[in-house]
Structure 1
Amino acid sequence: MGMRCPWGDSDDLMRDYHDNRWGKPVHDDRELFAMLALEGQQAGLSWSLILKREAAYRAAFDGFDPQVIAAYDDARIEELLACDGLIHNRRKMLSVRTNAQAFLRVQQEFGSFDVYIWGFADGCTIDHRLARQDDMPAFDDLSKRVSRDMKKRGFTFVGPTIVYSYLQAIGVINDHILECPYR
């Protein structure tokens, strides 16, 4: 058995995420929305911190149901800003609601968010076949293209770096190193 990607070996939570979720194709719209929301919360912070708070986020944000979140009023956003276990950043909180609204519009236009996001890769995982973790880019042409399109559709916290990380998380991009047994 080869060596696990170095970033995924820091603690039990990261190992579990790396081994069982990261880079595995996701096609469920609610989970696609959940990962988009969590990636936005991670901006400027560590993914480890978000994983430690993921259960609190899922509970506070109604299981990441975009229908429910899209209808949040400002009072609900204020409640979320006071919730224990969440990052208390108003712009990030508002982005979850804004992105839920944009997500629903994409679902309506494409039939599902899955069809939209996977369409950028023609429905197939892009395998970068990285020899070393250091070969992994922070963003690429695909993430820049997806980012531009998402911004045009009203999404926020979807810069090229966040989008690249999102595409890795949902399996559109496989950046497990070649010797990783979880590729």
Structure 2
Amino acid sequence: MSKVDVSKIADVDTGSTSTVCRCSWGEHDEFSRAYHDERWCKPVHDDDELFAVLVLEGMQAGLSWSLILKREAGIRAACDGLQPAKVALYDENKVQELLNNPAMIRSVRKIHAMIKNAHAFLQVQEEFGSFDNYIWGFVKGVQVDHRLVSEEHMPAKDALSEAVSKDLKKRGFTFVGPVIVYSYIQGIGLINDHIVHCSFR
């Protein structure tokens, strides 16, 4: 059996109820539920948001995704909305400011990686016209739907994430191993890993 949360949602106008199925991890907490229902595996084409999700995925390394979601608003506020053009201008004074900010994931390696990745991101934009053109080029602009029947069938990485990871590293990005990249390409919708019975596919 696939892991799936089934809940009843009441319609306040009619008094009827409908069954909603959700990938089980989406029931971890309110932040996970909102992310699962509204954002996960939904195609993203805005360059600033593509960078923001990349930063958040890098911040998550070694930590839980639910923690990152809880901290997300604070991280975005502390880092100028995670706009790559602004993050690329950060100096060591800004790094120290961020390390002293309780809203941040206070890892000097991750903060330096965010700044380094901002520079690499801007270079990709210059070469390809947009990061969107670059990243979606790996799937020729068409989302890959794995049509998983169970969360147990979801890999930690695959050939696509290996290829993206290798190319990002070649371009100077860091904290972009194939496992992090797999989560990233889920988050920006290059792949759809909602199980087939999930109401939020």
Normalising by structure 1, report the TM-score: 0.98
**RMSD (Å) for aligned C-alpha atoms:** 0.7
**Which amino acid in structure 2 is aligned with residue 14 of structure 1?**
S
User: Match of 1:90?
Assistant: 108
Worse-superposed segment, 75-84 or 99-108: 75-84
1:47 equivalent to 2:65? Answer yes
Structural mapping, 1:1-183, within 5 Å: 1=19, 3-183=21-201
- Per-residue deviation at 1:13? 1.1
Q: Work out which structure has the larger RCO, using CA pairs closer than 8 Å and 6 or more positions apart in sequence.
A: 1
Which 5+ residue runs of structure 1 have no aligned equivalent? none
Q: Which amino acid aligns with 1:176?
A: H
Q: Name the amino acid aligned to 1:132.
A: S
- String of CA shifts for 1:24-43, please: whole Å, max 9, x gaps: 00000000000000000000
Aligned residue pair count: 183
Distance in 2 separating the partners of 1:96 and 1:69: 8
- Relative to its length, the structure with more helix (as a share) is 1
Residue 75 of structure 1 and its aligned partner are, at CA, apart by 1.2
Assess if the C-alpha contact under 8 Å between 2:78 and 2:103 holds in 1. no
Matched residue SS, 1:157: coil
Q: Which runs of 4+ in 1 moved over 6 A?
A: none
1 CA distance for matches of 2:150 and 2:126? 40
Partner Cα separation in structure 2 for residue 140 and residue 132 of structure 1:
17
Structure with a larger share of its residues in strand: 2
Query: In structure 1, how many angstroms separate the alpha carbons of the residues matched to 2:116 and 2:83?
Result: 13
Q: Is residue 44–residue 189 contact of structure 2 (8 Å, CA) maintained in 1?
A: yes
Q: 1:125 is aligned with what amino acid?
A: Q
The AA in structure 2 aligned to 1:66 is: P
Q: Which has the larger radius of gyration?
A: 2
Alignment check: 8 A CA contact 1:2 1:179 kept: no
CA distance in 2, matches of 1:116, 1:56: 29
Deviation at 1:2, TM superposition (A): 5.1
The 1-side partners of 2:31 and 2:97 are apart by 28
Distance apart, 1:10 and its partner CA? 1.3
